[in-house]
Amino acid sequence: MTTLTYPFSEVDVRALKAGDAVSVNGLIRTGRDRFHKFFADGGKLPCDFRDGALFHCGPVVVKNPDGSWRVVAGGPTTSVRENPYEPAFIEQTGVRLIIGKGGMDARTLDACAKCGAVYLQAVGGAAAVTAHAITRVTNVYFLEEFGAAEACWEFEVKDFRCVVAMDSHGTSLFAQVEAASNRRFRELLAK
């Protein structure tokens, strides 16, 4: 298990290989469809993502009596929807970690290699368990404009476990599984 602590350095990120287990600690921010479209359309980001983490997540967040926020479910959302936007986001912001589920395309993999970023696979279907790694909500941006699920939430996390699924060396576990599945499918058809 490799421990990554915010700010995430390019050296540490480039040392990761596809298949490595990681524990993410410190600051991460969420961003989904509306956030990515806003950025792609030239919108000004509310915070600096350099050496940071972008989590594809639409959390369930409740307000405590004291006005603070608490995450009750924080699982990853499917990342493929962000394929049109992610390469430019990586290149223009200097973000180091993209966290989601299901993988992304070759253009995002190329941007990871070029810029020193990785795609981390978080566990899908365990949103309540994942929420336990979120120790505090430190801020929220675009809550009024985008709504709670699409807002840009800023979390502090401790021991948020993921697997490197796409590294900065051009390796994608998703591409490997697809290639192996296609080979096996052709073998079965040949019988």
All domains in the chain, ordered by first residue? 2-190 (3.20.130.10)
Alpha-carbon distance 191 to 177, whole Å?
Answer: 21
pLDDT score for 180: 85
Q: From the candidates 36, 56, 132, 169, which is the catalytic residue?
A: 36
Pairing of strands 60-63, 2-5: unpaired
Average pLDDT over residues 165-175: 96
pLDDT score for 181: 84
* Average pLDDT in the chain: 96
Q: The pTM is what?
A: 0.94
Contact call for residues 125 and 103 (beta carbons, < 8 A): no
| Token pair in block for residue 110 | 């190329």
H, E, C per residue of 6-30: CCCCHHHHHCCCCCCEEEEEEEEEE
pLDDT score for 25: 98
| Strands of the chain, DSSP E | 2-5, 21-30, 53-55, 60-63, 69-73, 97-100, 118-121, 134-141, 152-166
Catalytic, 36? Answer yes
CA dist 65 → 62, 69, 115, 127, 148 (Å):
10, 9, 42, 23, 18
pLDDT tens, position by position, 122-158: 988 788 888 999 999 999 999 999 999 999 999 999 9
H-run or E-run covering 36: helix 33-40
DSSP string, 100-113: EBS---HHHHHHHH
pLDDT tens, position by position, 84-110: 999 999 999 999 999 999 999 999 999
Average pLDDT over residues 47-67: 97
Contact call for residues 159 and 133 (beta carbons, < 8 A): yes
Contact call for residues 21 and 1 (beta carbons, < 8 A): yes
Q: Binning pLDDT at 50, 70 and 90, where does residue 187 land? A: confident
| Token pair in block for residue 64 | 């405590």
